[in-house]
Chains A and B, each alone.
Chain A
């Protein structure tokens, strides 16, 4: 594992909750679909176990509701969605992330000129 990958992993660790909440804020989803949508958005390093573990934890913390949707051709799917608490957590985390990334961008721009 290269240094760059390690860094992405580290960054993901702190931000995965927010990423998962963001996916679910777009619409209810099941585990494998959440992973796919994260990867589609460029988070290639995200592991299935990390996403599944995060979903289960957020569910246990009371931020998500879940329901099983029967499927004709494949297995039943367990969908997760944001409940009121989850939406609140998502809004707060979004603000925190915005101010954090703003600060970090300012810091980086100050040193390396304008590049984003």
Chain B
């Protein structure tokens, strides 16, 4: 480099240094280089020989500058100590062996996730299509149900699409990546909700007036209990006897083939545990109370009279 004009020397050297550091983020670069020329002028004034003779090639000077400026010092605005600690913890975690093993293992699960994703998407769609419908929705589509066949075909198609999406070559653009990740998260969250509510959904579709309580499911030799006929001690049939279990919950029975007419309370709520239930067969005939063989009581009757006094009686057969 010619030592003809110091100003030229400085300008050339500075330009080559700047070119080397062009990739630094803008505010940092400006702080670092804003008085580079001034500094080089000091050297020119006090040292001997051209800048390149004193400092070496500008490219090397730039490398050294970059290293000194960006060496592991705390940044201008140090992050809060707690955040720094969490970052350290995270770094230690990600450096651990088991984390690396899991990271190495996860990619092998990708095809399974693609299949699951296709299945979940159709499951969600089926749940939404079905909301008002009322076919029995389960985690696996039944080939015998109304929409089952369609759901199976759609699941196959969705899995094919999902796998195609998963096996695509080359990275997606930034926006595409964000979209796919958000969609994945959305599918998982909604699918968790749908699967979690599956029982409730099928319950709703079963009978909208169904009680929320699990039925009193005692199954006797003759089959499930579908109605209860209470009698007083002296053999009189009682009506509208309210039964509760040990937790104070209304006792309900299994639904049989007969339709039940539950009375409505004054508050508009269905009373499901007033026995005997008023039931009609599917053909409209009222269900006839069974003949019962009342046990003979011992001559000394218990001191407390168990006979309940049914309050306002509804007509027994309706």
Q: Does A50 contact B (CB under 8 A)?
A: yes
Shortest distance from the beta carbon of A98 to any chain B beta carbon, whole Å:
20
- When distances are taken between beta carbons in the complex, the residues of chain B under 8 Å from A116 are none
Q: Does B211 contact A (CB under 8 A)?
A: no
Give the residues from 52 to 70 in chain A that come closer than 8 angstroms, CB to CB, to chain B: 52-54, 56-57, 59-62, 68
Shortest distance from the beta carbon of A75 to any chain B beta carbon, whole Å:
4
Q: How many A-B residue pairs have CB under 8 A?
A: 80
Whether A56 and B61, one on each chain, are in contact in the complex, defined by CB atoms closer than 8 angstroms, is: no
Asked if A49 meets B62 with Cβ closer than 8 Å, knowing A16-B68, A61-B73, A61-B74, the reply is: yes
Shortest distance from the beta carbon of A16 to any chain B beta carbon, whole Å:
7
Whether B73 and A78, one on each chain, are in contact in the complex, defined by CB atoms closer than 8 angstroms, is: no
B42's partner among A16, A32, A50 (CB-CB below 8 A) is A32
Whether B68 and A32, one on each chain, are in contact in the complex, defined by CB atoms closer than 8 angstroms, is: no
A51's partner among B32, B68, B76 (CB-CB below 8 A) is B68
Question: B45-80 interface mask toward A, CB cutoff 8 Å, 1 = contact, 0 = none?
Answer: 111000000110000111111111111011110000
Whether A48 and B61, one on each chain, are in contact in the complex, defined by CB atoms closer than 8 angstroms, is: yes
- When distances are taken between beta carbons in the complex, the residues of chain B under 8 Å from A51 are 68
CA distance A63 to B68 in the complex (A): 16
Asked if A53 meets B35 with Cβ closer than 8 Å, knowing A17-B73, A74-B46, A77-B42, the reply is: no
Q: Does B97 contact A (CB under 8 A)?
A: no
Q: Does B39 contact A (CB under 8 A)?
A: yes
Q: Does B197 contact A (CB under 8 A)?
A: no
CA distance A32 to B38 in the complex (A): 10
Whether B38 and A76, one on each chain, are in contact in the complex, defined by CB atoms closer than 8 angstroms, is: yes
Q: Does B43 contact A (CB under 8 A)?
A: yes
CA distance A108 to B209 in the complex (A): 87
**What are the 9 closest A-B residue pairs judged by CB atoms, nearest first?**
A53-B68, A49-B64, A75-B41, A74-B45, A53-B69, A32-B42, A49-B65, A50-B68, A53-B65
What are 26 of the A-B contact pairs (CB < 8 Å)? A17-B73, A30-B42, A31-B39, A31-B42, A47-B61, A48-B43, A48-B54, A48-B55, A49-B55, A49-B61, A49-B68, A50-B68, A52-B36, A53-B32, A56-B69, A57-B32, A57-B69, A59-B31, A60-B28, A60-B76, A61-B75, A74-B42, A75-B41, A75-B42, A78-B35, A78-B38
Report which B residues bind A (CB closer than 8 A): 28, 31-32, 35-36, 38-39, 41-47, 54-55, 60-71, 73-76
